[in-house]
């Protein structure tokens, strides 16, 4: 599946951080109705992707590193779901017996077309546009 619940939560985490203020994870979870058990895992992925910064200690929390106008939905989905694919057959290097010997599977080709439309749409929308 292309858009997972983690991607949804990631977008909402970034929405809670959009004002540039340092926020705690309990605050973010309460504001965006995100279960705590998922939030910490997702914020680590967002941090590795360079979208947020964490501050440790008693005054700790999280801040957004980029302006929401510079972050696309595709950036968020890619940070959380490394292979955001509609179907497994779209995975690079996936072996499909219907795609051998120079013949192309028409089903695969249609899924690939749809995948490209979705990725293009995700790339077009910044977080500012949807917040």
- Going from N- to C-terminal start, the domains of the chain cover 5-130
What are the CA-CA distances from residue 71 to residues 13, 35, 62, 90, 96 (Å)? 13, 24, 17, 25, 35
pLDDT digits (tens, 9 = 90+) for 44-97: 999 999 999 999 988 899 999 999 999 999 999 999 987 777 766 677 766 777
pLDDT at position 43 over 80: yes
Question: Residue 4: pLDDT band by 50, 70, 90 thresholds?
Answer: confident
Architecture of domain 5-130: Orthogonal Bundle (1.10)
Q: How many CA atoms lie within 13 A of 103 on its CB side?
A: 9
């Amino acid at each position: 599946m292309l858009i997972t619940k983690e991607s949804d939560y990631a977008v909402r985490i970034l929405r809670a951080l959009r004002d540039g203020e340092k926020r705690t994870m309990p605050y973010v979870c309460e504001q965006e109705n995100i279960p705590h058990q998922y939030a910490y895992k997702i914020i680590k992925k967002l941090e590795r992707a360079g979208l947020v910064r964490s501050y440790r200690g008693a005054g700790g929390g999280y801040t957004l590193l980029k302006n929401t106008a510079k972050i696309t939905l595709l950036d968020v989905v890619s940070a959380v779901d490394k292979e955001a694919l509609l179907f497994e057959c779209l995975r690079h290097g996936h072996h499909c017996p219907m795609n051998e010997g120079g013949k192309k599977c028409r089903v695969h080709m249609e899924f690939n077309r749809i995948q490209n439309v979705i990725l293009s749409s995700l790339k077009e929308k910044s977080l500012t546009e949807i917040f």
